[in-house]
A and B are shown apart, each in its own frame.
Chain A
Amino acid sequence: MQSRKGIIQTLTSSGWRKEEAHSVANLAADISTGVAKIPEQLLATEPRMTFKVQRPPSAGSEASC
């Protein structure tokens, strides 16, 4: 991942206002840092690449009531 400074340089050189470039870099860094702090035990072994909620066997209350 590009560093905060690198993001700012890339964006300002392509016409972004400095203030907005800083906001972009800070947001991206905050999110990346935050996710990196999630403990390993709270990461499932496989990501949910194609998100689809599975209908559990117990969710039959529609018909039963």
Chain B
Amino acid sequence: VAVKDNCDLAGHPTTGACGAFRNAVAERDATCISRLKDAGAIVLGKTNMHELAYGGTGALSDFGPARNPWNREHIAGGSSSGSGAAVAAGCVPAALGSDTGGSIRIPAAACGVTGLKPTFGRVSKAGVMPLGWSLDHVGPITRTACDAAILLKVLASGDARDPTTVASPFTDTAKPMDPGILRVAEVAGFPLDPAVARALDAAAVTLADLGYKIEPIRLEASDHAHVAWQAIMFAEAASAYAGDLAAAFDGFTPDVRVQLEAGQHISARTYLDAQRFRVAYGDIFNQKIAGAQAILMPSLPVPAPRLGQDHVDLPGKRVTTQDAMTFTNLTANMLGWPAISVPCGFSDAGLPVGLSVLGRPFDEATVLAVAKAYQAHTDWVRAPSV
């Protein structure tokens, strides 16, 4: 396996792809790595990432940008950019990523592989550099959902080093689950690139053919979720790295240090209101998923943008590339619910498109069952020629 360079690997630097941490050699393994090693995994190396995991493109890194194996002029998606690219390119069968606003699912979608963000508390974050403590998750990037289930079984555990974890082993389904209701979410105010819309429509048809009942829903309050997510992440990251920013100002790129400093100016009132919204947002989603097995969403509204592309044009709307990467994905982080991105097609330019399946907390089994059923009847997990 490969591991994202924000996970401690004893005897090696944990840089977070940030110049300030080039010499930060870890004394012990992160819990996620020790669990993989105990299960017999061999760590082949560490993977590139967006600096401090503070961005969804993977373009900003002390090692240089990660590139997409399907087209090297395009981003790999971030922040677990190297993990997505390494699995897609066939360097490793699995890699660890972390996810604060989509950072496992974004590179998985951009690179045409599978990325699973487990429930908050399912996998220990001990020994993994924080970004937003209450939003951070650790999980696997693999070629298939079957492989993701294998990794999750190893990774899931309570951990005294991470008090947010829950001592509840993950048991995968032994046989296919009966298909139920899936709700396809239209994110209000966030149109999709036509290639993505076509791929998602086709995925819904495939799932309907497999016996799932497809129901459309509309997700409101996404703008509020976006800004509340920013407030929480900015404030928590500012707290985590205030001392490092003061001690090694030039070790951070301007983009990251601006974000870290901005977090210093988020008031307690703003942070607490964002956390209050988060609870209410969970209530909204409990209603949206009631009676259904899972909610389907686009992993990304566009195929992977070009390196250096600051904005993307959606039908009738121009958004920053960063917002395009995170806008739909941050929902699962705000909720703490499990979500998986699986490949569901390609654009005309040959870039992968991803479908996300969002499920109830600690019900990764259902999320994986939907993903496995879909992958058993499609062949979108392909290998780029590299």
Closest beta carbon of chain A to B270's beta carbon, Å: 5
> Which residues on A sit within 8 Å (CB–CB) of B121?
52-53
Closest beta carbon of chain A to B224's beta carbon, Å: 5
Closest beta carbon of chain A to B210's beta carbon, Å: 16
Number of interface residues of A (CB under 8 A): 41
> Which residues on A sit within 8 Å (CB–CB) of B174?
65
Closest beta carbon of chain B to A38's beta carbon, Å: 5
- In the complex the two chains form, is A51's CB within 8 Å of B336's CB? yes
> Which residues on B sit within 8 Å (CB–CB) of A41?
280
- In the complex the two chains form, is B166's CB within 8 Å of A11's CB? no
Sorting the interface of chain B by its residue count into under 10, 10 to 19, 20 to 34 or 35 or more gives: 35 or more
> Which residues on B sit within 8 Å (CB–CB) of A42?
221, 224, 277, 280-281
Q: Contacts A32-B270, A43-B273, A56-B361 given: A61-B366 contact, CB under 8 Å? A: yes
Q: In the complex, what distance in Å separates the CA atom of A46 from the CA atom of B259? A: 27
Nearest to B268 among chain A residues (CB) is A1
Closest beta carbon of chain B to A17's beta carbon, Å: 8
- In the complex the two chains form, is A1's CB within 8 Å of B170's CB? no
Q: Contacts A38-B273, A55-B168 given: A61-B363 contact, CB under 8 Å? A: yes
> Which residues on A sit within 8 Å (CB–CB) of B270?
1, 31-32, 35-36
A-B contact count (CB 8 A): 147
Q: In the complex, what distance in Å separates the CA atom of A24 from the CA atom of B280? A: 29
Q: In the complex, what distance in Å separates the CA atom of A47 from the CA atom of B278? A: 8
- Give a binary string over A49-65; 1 marks a CB under 8 Å from any B CB, 0 the rest: 11111111011011101
Q: Contacts A32-B270, A53-B121 given: A43-B280 contact, CB under 8 Å? A: yes
Nearest to A1 among chain B residues (CB) is B267
> Which residues on A sit within 8 Å (CB–CB) of B337?
53
Contact residue among A11, A27, A32, A38 (Cβ-Cβ distance under 8 Å from B224) = A38
Q: Contacts A34-B230, A43-B280, A44-B277 given: A28-B262 contact, CB under 8 Å? A: yes
Closest beta carbon of chain A to B159's beta carbon, Å: 14
Q: In the complex, what distance in Å separates the CA atom of A44 from the CA atom of B337? A: 18
- Give a binary string over B180-214; 1 marks a CB under 8 Å from any A CB, 0 the rest: 00000000000000000000000000000000000
